[in-house]
Structures are given as structure tokens and as C-alpha cells.
Amino acid sequence: MRIDLHTHSAASDGTLSPAALVRAAAGSGLDVVALTDHDTTAGWSEAVAVLPAGLTLVRGAELSCVWWPARDQPPISLHLLAYLFDPDEPRLKAERDRVRHGRIGRARRMVELMVADGYPVSWDDVVAEANGAPIGRPHVARALIKAGIVSTMDEAFTPAFIGTGGRYRVAKPDTDVFDGIALVRAAGGVPVFAHPMAAKRGRVVPDTAYAELADAGLGGIEADHADHEPQTRQKIRAIAAELGLFVTGSSDFHGANKQVAIGAETTDPEAYERLVAQASGVAPVRG
Ligand code: AMP
Ligand code: ZN
Ligand code: FE
Ligand code: FE
């Protein structure tokens, strides 16, 4: 069984349509793939409609959250994967809507700051890149490439532009992670901490936070991810074992927006079974 529990389609900031993504998943020999677009379930129906025979789809999303070290210190960003939740549950739905809306104002502000410094990028370029999806920094980055301001995605994600601590990076109004965990559980879903120790993305939560997150209802932690070194993966496994959490592995595939191939990292079937056993929102769909 080959199981990849974290991918993005063009319904958020990946480059493959949901239909092309499930075809790519089947083509790369996966048995199970999760579609986890940022803050949206908009790609689910298309993926279900064309699901290749033999492939199982886990419907999910990746929610943008924050963890507060203390109220007088700046929050730390983190991503919460949410699996098999009821997409119509009103409170989680309202929170996804709020965060997506916040993404618009924040991306507009990033463009304004770059325009004020004389860069030839426009809001319309960014909107065209997003094509209706929740607007993320990868859409801004692609607009910067098309305008000839940078030559690669990686260059856009440096401190000179919109990377971690970047001159033109503006924060989003993300969900408090404890609220996020509670909302996902209340919608019958299973919350998993995505790439928790991906230090190149910015500050990460301290080791002491994991017990609090587990107490709040976290189900699992993503260990095998391209942004984690082998030692980091071992450390995450140890934390998960101590707290009774399952461990996942996944590609975090974004199509041509990133280098990682679909299925590049996978989850043990036993961990997948634990995830499914905890879910009561929607079921995996078998193609
Ligand atoms: P946002 O959610 O709008 O803050 O954008 C974050 C997204 O940018 C995440 O999905 C990352 O995977 C993506 N990202 C971060 N660094 C890079 C990079 N160097 N190249 C491409 N995408 C990146
Ligand atoms: Zn992304
Ligand atoms: Fe993420
Ligand atoms: Fe992701």
C-alpha cells in the first residue's frame, strides 16, 4: 500500500487540476491520496468525479494556524492538516471562509508594498494566477516571475521578497491552532500537524507544545516530509510515540510550483488505519 496524505491542486496553490492530480497519483502507483488544498474544499468534487479505479481519495484541507508562545510575543505560524471532516459543518466552514477572505487583503497589501517600491507587478496579475483559488504567496511569486522581477519561485521566497521574514511578506489572519483542532474534531475530522519542524519556513513551535496539542485533540504528526532531515523525523517519531499520536509521511506535492514528486514520501498503512478509525465526517472514497 502506497499512501500519500498531503497534496495541493490548482484549487489552492498547486498547478495540476484536481482531476489531473488524481490521475498523477494513480500513475505514480499510489493506492491512497489525500487532497489537502489550503483553506478550501473546492477541489473535492472534481477529484471524486474522475477518481481512477483502484485509487482511494481522502478528502482533506490544510488549515493555516498560529500558536502563541505568550500573548505579548508574536505568534508562530503552523499548518494543520484536516482529514475527512464534514465540509458543511457551519463553524469550520465559516473559519475557512474567514481565512480565505483574509488571504485577499494580505496579498493585496504585499502587491501595494512592491508597487510602492517601483516593481512592475499588479493586483490583476496575482488574481489571474490564482484563478479563483484562495490566494497564496505562490500566486504572488508566479506573478513576480511573469513580470520579470524574479526568475524563480525560490528567488521570490527569499527575504528580499515574500519569503520568511521577507521585505514584502505580510502575515495572514490565521486560526488559533487550539481552535483549529477543536473545529476539525467537531466537524468529525482528524487533525494532523503538518511539517512541524520545517525550520526553513520560519520559527517552529517548541517541543513542549506537543503535549498541549495532543491534549487538545491532535491525532497525528507529519514526520516524513521533504523539509525534515532524517534526525528531525526520528525526533518527531519519538514525540508521537510518547504522546500516542500516529505519524504520517507525505509529498506536499504542489505540481510545478515545487520540486517534490507526488508519492515521494508515504504513510504506513497502520497509521492510515488509525486516522480513518478516528474520522466521522466523510469517508474515504474508493475509485
Ligand atoms: P501562504 O500560505 O500564502 O503564506 O503561502 C505559503 C505557501 O508557499 C506554502 O504552501 C508553501 O508550500 C509555499 N512555498 C514556500 N516556500 C516556497 C518556495 N521556495 N517555492 C515554492 N513554494 C513555496
Ligand atoms: Zn501550498
Ligand atoms: Fe504546509
Ligand atoms: Fe501543504
104-156 domain in CATH 1.10.150.650?
yes
pLDDT by residue for the chain (287 residues), tens only, comes to 999 999 999 999 999 999 999 999 999 999 999 999 999 999 999 999 999 999 999 999 999 999 999 888 999 999 999 999 999 999 999 999 999 999 999 999 999 999 999 999 999 999 999 999 999 999 999 999 999 999 999 999 999 999 999 999 999 999 999 999 999 999 999 999 999 999 888 899 999 999 999 999 999 999 999 999 999 999 999 999 999 999 999 999 999 999 999 999 999 999 999 999 999 999 999 99
The 3-state secondary structure of 166-212 reads CCCCCCCCCEEHHHHHHHHHHCCCEEEEECCCCHHHCCCCCCCHHHH
Is-contact 54 163, C-beta < 8 A? no
pLDDT at 89: 98
- Nine cell digits for residue 157: 521566497
Q: Which residues make up the CATH 3.20.20.140 domain(s) of the chain?
A: 3-98+172-286
* 235-262: b (≥16 Cβ within 10 Å) or e: bbeebbeeeebbbbbbbbbbbebbebeb
Q: Evaluate: CB of 13 within 6 angstroms of ligand 1.
A: yes
Is-contact 130 137, C-beta < 8 A? no
Which residue, chain included where needed, has cell 498560529?
66
Calculate helix-pair angle for 209-216, 177-186, nearest 10 degrees.
30
pLDDT at 148: 98
* Ligand 1 atom nearest residue 12's Cα: 10
Q: What is the phi-psi region of residue 202: left when phi exceeds 0, alpha when psi lies from -120 to 50, beta otherwise?
A: left
Q: Evaluate: CB of 7 within 6 angstroms of ligand 1.
A: no
Q: Evaluate: CB of 14 within 6 angstroms of ligand 1.
A: no
* Angle, vertex CA 73, rays to CA 69 and CA 74, nearest 5: 90
Return the residue whose CA atom lies nearest to atom 3 of ligand 1: 136
Ligand number with the minimum distance to the CA of 100 = 1
pLDDT at 14: 97
pLDDT at 201: 85
Which residue, chain included where needed, has cell 474567514?
98
Topology classification of domain 3-98+172-286 = TIM Barrel (3.20.20)
Calculate helix-pair angle for 177-186, 90-116, nearest 10 degrees.
140
* Ligand 1 atom nearest residue 103's Cα: 3
Q: Which residues make up the CATH 1.10.150.650 domain(s) of the chain?
A: 104-156
pLDDT at 200: 87
pLDDT at 71: 82
- Nine cell digits for residue 203: 520559527
DSSP state for residue 39 in the 8-state scheme? T
